[in-house]
């Protein structure tokens, strides 16, 4: 038991001669009776507080008039919490957006070192198209087709043997 429990008793908290007689669960108000037999009620949701005679309600001002078109206070309160919850979720959505942008950038970027992909090669009737694979050199390709590096350079104008890109195509002479 708390050492301040004696201060929670009605005899200490209520005015002289006032006793608690009931509780209305619908309005969430406690009812009190004074020495003269008059009934009083407390504020909603509070065990003690400013007591008013039963049936006497404070004048409502124009701000709470339901006919003015303003939402009831409960909806205003809900609207405040909805905005606050969006504010709490904003960093998460921002992080997701940045992640998706990075993924799209990563997928959409070129897989090679940034050089443009060459146009498809059209070979003459005496040569065929060869796709360069990893580890190929001009000398290996020429030797495999029974030709020379000079023949490869003649058939492929602008061929740079030092910069062969995997997946690009060149023309090689047909083997007999």
pLDDT digits (tens, 9 = 90+) for 86-127: 788 899 999 999 999 999 998 887 555 555 555 677 888 888
Confirm whether 89 is domain-assigned. Answer: no
Confirm whether 151 is domain-assigned. Answer: yes
Please tell me the distance from the alpha carbon of residue 156 to that of residue 136, in angstroms, as a whole number: 16
Paired tokens of 105: 């950038």
What does pTM read for this prediction? 0.34
Q: Starting at the earlier edge strand, list the strands of the sheet with 29-33.
A: 19-24, 29-33, 39-41, 52-53
> Which three-class secondary structure state does DSSP give residue 154?
helix
Please tell me the distance from the alpha carbon of residue 81 to that of residue 98, in angstroms, as a whole number: 26
User: How buried is 18 (Cβ within 10 angstroms: 0-12 exposed, 13-18 middle, 19+ buried)?
Assistant: middle
Nearest 5°: the CA angle 131, 135, 136 is 45
pLDDT digits (tens, 9 = 90+) for 37-96: 999 898 888 877 888 888 776 665 555 555 555 555 566 566 667 777 778 889 999 999
Confirm whether 71 is domain-assigned. Answer: no
Domain that holds residue 42: 5-59
| The domain boundary residue, chosen from 15, 35, 59 | 59
Confirm whether 166 is domain-assigned. Answer: yes
Confirm whether 112 is domain-assigned. Answer: no
Look at the chain and report how many structural domains it folds into.
Answer: 2
Specify whether the CB–CB gap between 123 and 129 falls below 8 A: yes
Confirm whether 22 is domain-assigned. Answer: yes
């Amino acid at each position: 038991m708390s050492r301040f429990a004696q201060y929670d008793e009605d005899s200490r908290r209520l005015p002289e001669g006032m006793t608690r007689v009931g509780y209305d669960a619908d309005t969430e108000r406690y009812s009190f009776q004074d020495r003269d037999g008059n009934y009083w009620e407390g504020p909603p949701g509070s065990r003690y507080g400013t007591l008013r005679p039963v049936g006497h309600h404070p004048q409502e001002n124009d701000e709470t008039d339901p006919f003015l078109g303003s939402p009831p206070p409960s909806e205003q309160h809900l609207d405040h919490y909805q905005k606050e919850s969006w504010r709490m979720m904003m960093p998460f959505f921002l992080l997701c957006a940045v992640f998706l942008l990075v993924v799209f950038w990563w997928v959409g970027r070129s897989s090679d070192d940034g050089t443009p992909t060459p146009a498809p090669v059209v070979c003459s009737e005496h040569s065929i198209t060869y796709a360069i694979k990893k580890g190929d050199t001009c000398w290996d390709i020429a030797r495999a087709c029974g030709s020379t590096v000079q023949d490869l350079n003649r058939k492929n104008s602008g061929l740079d043997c030092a910069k062969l890109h995997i997946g690009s195509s060149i023309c090689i002479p047909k083997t007999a």
